[in-house]
Structure 1
């Protein structure tokens, strides 16, 4: 499923939640929780080594042997159980991390101080174990607690040394060693804390950049997916690595797998091979056999170290349509202004011609006057059609019942064209309701029926008006079919173009206006079939007015 705006909102929500929760350099991230677990595992391993060494190798640690008293082994066993419990809590309960670290350090300081005391002082090596504990606490601890841990270890060592001095002779060297260890406690704790702050700063920077990169990636993916151009990423072997939905649509490819150029468009594959041999910035025109669409392909090499190539695909029919719309928009503004200026003198000419018709001056005079009036009427019809285009954007849709509208319209049209009642054949079935502007629908039907009558044989049933439900739910189809010669294959693409006509008295705007009005009402007008007779289908909405 492609990324949507909801994905972008999720990324933004995550960032806002982290800020709202006070997530700063001192907070516990997932990385720091992992570090805390590793610290607890280290303590468990050390405790296990102390305990099992006392049981299996008494000579290695004589301070914990049974000969020194069972309470020493009990101390090691209790320390092992405590460290195992701390590790379990760190894995199962992700709360109060500072309390867990403080409890662990207090336990280590107590146990190591007792071991130092029973082992004959700092010379036994257990003071170094405190350095490791303080280093680990400095990496995972928070703020001033690290200094507190170092101070606690210092006090414990000094108290133990003072107690030993009271019990035996006072040795200056022993106090010197205790002082050195105390300085080392603070140095290790502070150094570890500074290193941890630097790591936290880098982690926070990476997290923020990751959020920004994620949002940027989602935006880029959304832009590519919504592009009207098709985008392909091709490798050296012409294999499609990535493509957007528009490219699949243009190449008539399925959704299950990446499209194969050899199957979709051999011309595009050949153009890619030519571009590989001689890269240039020019675009080429290729054909897609599956749907007959002509594409404009442009190849662009990537700037990275890889050899992938970007291919941008544009639908030439859409480009031509856009160019035509721009041209027609400019032409429409010009012709509309001219049409308003022409109408007044045109009405005067027509009125003068009607007055001249009352005079009888011979056959030549009558023929010339008839030519004048016919062409005046044709020009006036062109002006009316052009002005009708200016009203296509004013749509007042309503749900129209075709069972009631079409019989009355067919009767009116037949009367206006002076036709027999059986020339037009009406068949209505299904829902027969369409969402359309009433005046627009009247104009569309009039143009379609006039075009059908012009090319029909004017016999009974020569023009058929059929209504039925569309293939898609909520749609209605309206067909206007004649029994004429049909539309030639070489003219099918031109019949909807403005001012194109095959009739000497036509304006070339009827079908163009009909299609424009249909599009304004979110409907579609198209020519079906290639047999005898023309079949124009209006596909409109039956719901949603």
Structure 2
């Protein structure tokens, strides 16, 4: 413990300055007692004389010098402290010798000096100070006894005072050590607390969720940058009701214990947010409000689902597709042997289900692939016309079921194979839910030349998408059709995002209306409305 204190000890100049101020006051009192003698000074034999004035003047000069050095030249702390303590020992023992030795009671002044020096001093020096005071007092008292000025029995009293010097020094030093330990502990805990506060602030700032600290008065005391961006909050404290009135009302209801712990609401930009309330142990009764972006949470869940699905695609390719090909090949061989109408019907059922399973496997494998897009400027009208010819031939469609309406001619920046797959998924899905009559499915090309946005609209005349499932149509494996896989729209949207485009479900009074919005590339002049039918 002593070695640890020695290595962590620092000079306490402020306490040393206070010690010198005390000594300066003491010297001033000695000087006043000489200038204005009284009965008690006479009883102590402290009468005005050249010796007493000189001793008091030297003591005051030494004290002032020590105070100046401790304030403006803070070096060699132990040397300065030792010098001042030695001055106290010499001056006080001289005064005791003039005041009839230890019986005067002036030895208490040495006890105060030793106690103060032990509190601010270091290590074994405090014992050295006590030893020097003991030697000085015993020599002074012995000298007085030899000169027959003092009672010989007073040497016992001098011994007790000397023992008090050591006891005072040791006890003061132990107290000083405890103070040093507590100061160091408080300093280290303060540093740890500051570090923890900095780490907590950085963690809160880096959180992907918004965090608000709301007081009982409804004012936002603090918030992180994510919450500022979500609600458009200023840097200064502001009322929550001024930026999210619905959230403020939900918080008040929760504080009254008649509201839910979670609350869903819309942000200023139209995004869906979810708030969660939590009380704190703060003396001000502040409440924590955590804000989550519902869209981001759903996207994260989809990513986790797709990550799990991606690990299955390799095994699906080998474990399902190869046996499926064998089944399909065996069905083709059986079809060559014409045995009767029942066998042909069963073979058709077998072939249809093999094709359906093959399509499911293709969709799942497509989800697992991470193809890089290679965009190129594609004439939208020519590309869609060629697509319609291929699609109509593949689906054996009658003329005019799927039509192309060209409102604006433009070039769209898109990967050719990706755009083909997006249109195939959208048109086949629209055809499945349409009436299959003339113009049942329409592809409308519309370009906005002002901001460079171009749109491909796919519209059908079917029953449309119910409001209850509109937010789920782009989720993987969600389907309302018995023959669907639930991956077509999801894959189409992912391919659009890969090409810097978007796939949206627009509001429609009849049927489903999907919009592929992309970037215009070398926009052509608009030409009159043109309607083409898929042959």
Q: Mark the structure with the bigger radius of gyration.
A: 2
State the distance in 1 between where 2:314 and 2:57 align. 100
- 8 A Cα contact 2:273 2:294, kept in partner: yes
Other-structure match for 1:68? 49
Q: Provide the residue aligned with 1:536 in structure 2.
A: 517
Distance 1:516 1:89 in 2: 78
Aligned with residue 425 of structure 1, among 401, 405, 410: 410
| Structure 2: runs of 5+ lacking an equivalent | 338-345, 391-403, 431-440, 508-512, 521-535
* Distance across 1 between alignment mates of 2:277 and 2:66: 61
SS of equivalent to 1:497: coil
- Matched-pair contact (CA < 8 Å) for 2:214–2:286: yes
Q: Is 1:278 matched with 2:252?
A: no
SS at match of 1:237: coil
Which residue number in structure 2 is paired with residue 526 of structure 1? 502
Q: What does residue range 161-200 of structure 1 map to in structure 2 within 5 Å? A: 161-169=141-149, 171-200=151-180
Q: In structure 2, what is the equivalent of residue 542 of structure 1?
A: none
Alignment check: 8 A CA contact 1:452 1:463 kept: no
Contact in 1 for aligned 2:474/2:490 (Cα 8 Å): yes
Length-normalised TM-score, structure 2: 0.68
Which residue is equivalent to 1:137? Answer: 117
What is the distance in 2 between the residues matched to 1:295 and 1:93?
63
- For 1:7, the equivalent position in structure 2 comes to none
Using the TM superposition, give the Cα deviation of residue 254 of structure 1 relative to its aligned residue in structure 2, in angstroms. Answer: 1.9
Contact 1:479 1:535 in 2 (8 A): no
1:200-229 CA-to-partner distances (Å, cap 9, x unmatched) read 233333333334444444444444444444
Asked whether the equivalents of residues 112 and 130 of structure 1 are also in contact (C-alpha less than 8 Å), the reply is: yes
Q: Is the 8 A contact 1:285 1:294 kept in 2?
A: no
Counterpart of 2:228 in structure 1 is 248
Equivalent-residue separation in structure 2 for 1:449 and 1:480 (angstroms): 15
State TM-score, norm by structure 1.
Answer: 0.67
2:364 equivalent among 372, 375, 386: 386
Q: 1:143 is paired with a residue of what secondary structure?
A: coil
Provide the C-alpha distance between the structure 2 equivalents of 1:465 and 1:442, rounded to a whole number of angstroms.
Answer: 21
RMSD value over aligned CA atoms? 5.2
CA shift, 1:442, in A, is 6.2
**Distance (whole Å) between structure 2 residues aligned to residue 518 and residue 35 of structure 1:** 74
State whether residues 26 and 142 of structure 1, in contact with CA within 8 Å, keep that contact through their aligned partners in structure 2: no
Give per-residue Cα distances to partners, 1:477-506, cap 9 Å, x unaligned: x96533666999969755643367999999
Please, which of 455, 458, 462 is the counterpart of residue 481 of structure 1? Answer: 455
Separation in 2, partners of 1:255, 1:391:
44
Q: Is the 8 A contact 2:496 2:503 kept in 1?
A: no
User: 2:22 matched to which residue of 1?
Assistant: 42
Aligned pairs for 1:439-518 within 5 A: 444-448=418-422, 462=445, 481-482=455-456, 493=471, 496-498=474-476, 509=487, 512-513=490-491, 515-516=493-494
- Deviation of the 1:348 alpha carbon: 6.3
Instruction: Give the SS at the match of 2:64.
Output: helix
> Following the alignment from structure 1 to structure 2, what is the Cα–Cα distance between the partners of residues 302 and 484?
52
Give the secondary structure class of the aligned counterpart of 2:57: helix
Matched ranges for 1:306-345 at <5 A: 307-329=285-307, 337-338=315-316, 340-344=318-322
Q: How many residues align?
A: 476
- Where does structure 1 lack aligned partners over 5 or more consecutive residues? 1-21, 360-367, 433-440, 469-477, 540-545
Shift in CA distance, 347/75, structure 1 to aligned 2, threshold 3 Å: same
